[in-house]
Amino acid sequence: MYAIVEIAGHQYKVEKDQHVFVQKLEGEAGSAVEFANVLLVDNDGNVTVGAPAIEGAKVEAKIVDHVKGDKVIVFKKKRRKGYQKRNGHRQQFTKIQISNIVA
């Protein structure tokens, strides 16, 4: 059984007991979260598609940890002008574990 769920503006394909890295969510590590915007549910070949979301369906998850992603280097240069600019960025993510999919 899997579901397509929208979390913080992004769509994820999730299954039970799966770990997913999503955009940073509010909440402490160990707390439970619930996502009600379920777009599709596949229950052993029985597919239910929402228009746009399935009413009554939800995905329950537990926040495992708040982490930072890999560093992304942004390098800008204009040739023959002596201009160079280097910036770095680390995105913040929340690691969640899917505990249940309710169709």
User: pLDDT band for position 56 (50/70/90)?
Assistant: very high
Q: What residue spans define the domains of the chain?
A: 2-102
Cα separation, 69 vs 54, in Å, equals: 32
Residue 103 has pLDDT above 90, yes or no: no
Average pLDDT of span 85-102: 97
Q: 17-51 in b/e burial notation, b at 16+ Cβ within 10 A?
A: eeebebeebeeeeeeebebebbbbbbeeeeeeeee
Query: What pTM was computed for the model?
Result: 0.83
